[in-house]
Amino acid sequence: MPHALPATKLDSATPSEIAINAQPRVPEADPTLGIPVATSWQGKPRPNNRLVTIGDSLTHGFQSGAVFNTDLSYPAIIAYELGWYRSFRFPTYNGAGGIPLNIELLLRDLAQRYGQHVDLWEVPLALFRLRQSMDEIEDYWERGPGSASPIGGRLNHNLGVYGWDLGDTLVKTADSCRTAIGTPKDDPVIQIVQNNGERAALRVLPCTPDTARQMTVFDAAEQLGKDFGDGDPEHGIETLVIFLGANNALPTVTQLDVAWSGDGYDDPAHKNRFTVWRPSHFAAELARIADRVRPIRARHIIWCTVPHVTVAPIARGIGAKIEPGSRYFPYYTRPWISDRTFNPKRDPYITSQQARAVDSAIDQYNDVITDMVRAERRAGRDWYVVDIAGMLDRLAARRYTEDLLARPDWWTPYPLPPELQALRPLPDSRFLTSDGNTRATGGLFSLDGVHPTTIGYGLIAQEIINVMQLAGVTFLHPDGRTPRTGPITVDFARLLQRDTLVNRPPGNLTAGLDIIGWADQAGDVLRRVLPFRIF
């Protein structure tokens, strides 16, 4: 059993409104929250808009420092299982390994040139090659083919944009993104794609006709909801999924800095100085989003909870747990910094007190989300909550799986699907490593230490699919006509074939991450690559 929280363990900089939790929040097991909603749908769902998603990088399909395989995002996986993939519209980023910087591609390039181990005399050459690759990628997206403005077309169904927090979704448009981009500068030192978040967003947002350039993602979803055709005369969208809020706390671990929101938290020009939102500020922005969602004509609306950001291996716990039964380590720093070499006078970190405070704030975020869904269900709306935070807590290897004393009463291991249970070692939440030939640890998080691998996205898709089934959504076979029966399960065999990090990880992971670590120390590369309001 976890110990009670001693008063001396509180972080003095934490706002008083944060309810510091000794015990982690109990996940919501019932997506309906025990509140029945009477529904009487008219006609069949509109076949053109069976699934629409609004979110951040987790919805966009970000992986290993870039958005590239958007056909393997969790929305695309759901669309495949719906038998509706060919009609599902999503942005693509096929050039230069994606945007802004594909760490997997860089490591494979280094492995091809220098082998699995980089000798000391080869380090300058490897760093030069890394810089050269980054320059080529920068040129592709800033001045090359990737800089071309998207040609207009029909509205996307996947409206996720990496790096966006709650407030961004309410105000950012194609016009505002174009204005932010301006004229790129070829920085000879920091060779990261300038305004890469805005460049990526232009492929998501409506761009034509001219009036569409001022549409937010909620405007786009509302327009899709009006597309009735010969289907349901009241709901143009069958299922709308909203997965937002992670970027209101995630910079604490990507930047290793805890800066609580204050005045200006809702001002796009000033909010970048904050890395974690106070629950009251989160609630205020969520209320504005709920006001934008209610008019959208969707049969079913699913809200995802915010994951605990300290579970992600981008911030590695250093040393032994602070006390028996605790889920926290004394310090959290970069994954390539070992216990032996860590020096708090030199290396970036957050403390156990800060990590606990951030997690407690996220617990309050999720209470706000849950309370909102509860109120809307009582008002007769077919809204649901899927507890992604609880799912990832049940997969947290160093926090709970390996530490029996830290497990709360409600904790049980997350049941991996048979295809993943057959893997050795079992995929877990630790940072991905390789023994030179095969995966040695990890498997659920990609090489940026924040975003899922392909099978990790499959687990998120399965959780949402379970709720869609509960809502009565009909899933079809790939022919798009024949209904599927029984529990709908994600085709993890298909995902494993596409998951290069799990079935064929770069053999130079250890040496390659050392190089990226050196580059990060020299040029702050990691903080500039990970997409959390820092561009």
Specify the number of domains making up the chain: 1
What pLDDT shows up at residue 98?
Answer: 94
Mean predicted confidence (pLDDT) in 475-504: 92
Q: Is 355 left (phi over 0), alpha (psi -120 to 50) or beta?
A: alpha
Helices 123-142, 103-114: axis angle to 10 degrees equals: 140
What pLDDT shows up at residue 535?
Answer: 30
Mean predicted confidence (pLDDT) in 298-311: 96
Residue 168 has pLDDT above 70, yes or no: yes
* Per-residue pLDDT tens digits for 253-266: 999 999 999 999 99
- Predicted confidence band of residue 401 (pLDDT cuts 50, 70, 90): very high
Instruction: Give the span between the Cα atoms of 412 and 317, in whole angstroms.
Output: 22
Angle at 303 between CA 298 and CA 307, to 5 degrees: 155
Say if residues 155 and 224 touch (Cβ distance below 8 Å): yes
Give the pair of three-digit tokens for residue 86: 């060919």
What pLDDT shows up at residue 234?
Answer: 82
Match 């005369």 to its residue by tokens.
233
| Domain assignment of residue 373, given as a range | 7-32+43-181+190-529
The answer as to whether 105 is a domain residue is yes
- Predicted confidence band of residue 533 (pLDDT cuts 50, 70, 90): very low
Instruction: Give the span between the Cα atoms of 403 and 425, in whole angstroms.
Output: 18
Instruction: Give the span between the Cα atoms of 286 and 366, in whole angstroms.
Output: 11
- Predicted confidence band of residue 231 (pLDDT cuts 50, 70, 90): low
What pLDDT shows up at residue 342?
Answer: 92
Helices 454-470, 74-81: axis angle to 10 degrees equals: 50
Query: What 3-state DSSP class applies to 50?
Result: coil
Closest CA to 343 of 324, 319, 309, 327: 319
Instruction: Give the span between the Cα atoms of 128 and 125, in whole angstroms.
Output: 5
Query: What 3-state DSSP class applies to 59?
Result: helix
Query: What 3-state DSSP class applies to 452?
Result: strand
What pLDDT shows up at residue 46?
Answer: 74
Residue 527 has pLDDT above 60, yes or no: no
pLDDT higher for 287 or 192?
287
The answer as to whether 2 is a domain residue is no
> What residues have CB less than 8 Å from 419, skipping those under 6 apart?
492, 493, 496
Strands laid side by side in the 51-55 sheet? 158-160, 51-55, 237-243, 298-304, 383-386
- Predicted confidence band of residue 434 (pLDDT cuts 50, 70, 90): confident
The answer as to whether 347 is a domain residue is yes
- Burial class from Cβ neighbours inside 10 Å (0-12, 13-18, 19+) for residue 209 reads exposed
Match 């605790």 to its residue by tokens.
326
pLDDT higher for 142 or 370?
370
In this predicted structure, which of 225-239, 335-349, 403-417 has the lowest mean pLDDT?
225-239
What pLDDT shows up at residue 12?
Answer: 83
The answer as to whether 242 is a domain residue is yes
Closest CA to 311 of 399, 242, 194: 399
The answer as to whether 1 is a domain residue is no
Mean predicted confidence (pLDDT) in 97-109: 90
**How far apart, in Å, are the Cα atoms of 102 and each of 65, 66, 109, 137, 254?**
5, 5, 11, 9, 17
Mean predicted confidence (pLDDT) in 331-359: 93
**How far apart, in Å, are the Cα atoms of 21 and each of 250, 326, 361?**
19, 12, 9
Four-CA torsion 307, 309, 312, 314, nearest 10 degrees: 150
* Per-residue pLDDT tens digits for 495-512: 999 999 999 888 767 755
Q: Which amino acid is at 157?
A: H
What pLDDT shows up at residue 134?
Answer: 84
Angle at 122 between CA 116 and CA 124, to 5 degrees: 125
Residue 6 has pLDDT above 60, yes or no: no
The answer as to whether 406 is a domain residue is yes
What pLDDT shows up at residue 294?
Answer: 97
What pLDDT shows up at residue 300?
Answer: 97
What pLDDT shows up at residue 3?
Answer: 36
In this predicted structure, which of 62-66, 337-341, 353-357, 517-521 has the lowest mean pLDDT?
517-521
- Predicted confidence band of residue 127 (pLDDT cuts 50, 70, 90): confident
Residue 532 has pLDDT above 70, yes or no: no
pLDDT higher for 112 or 258?
258
The answer as to whether 534 is a domain residue is no
Name the DSSP class of 483.
B
Say if residues 82 and 51 touch (Cβ distance below 8 Å): yes
- Predicted confidence band of residue 244 (pLDDT cuts 50, 70, 90): very high
- Predicted confidence band of residue 513 (pLDDT cuts 50, 70, 90): low
> What residues have CB less than 8 Å from 465, skipping those under 6 apart?
78, 81, 475, 488, 490
The answer as to whether 470 is a domain residue is yes
Mean predicted confidence (pLDDT) in 450-466: 98
Closest CA to 314 of 403, 250, 402: 250
In this predicted structure, which of 115-119, 341-345, 520-524 has the lowest mean pLDDT?
520-524
What pLDDT shows up at residue 192?
Answer: 82
What pLDDT shows up at residue 534?
Answer: 34
What pLDDT shows up at residue 377?
Answer: 98
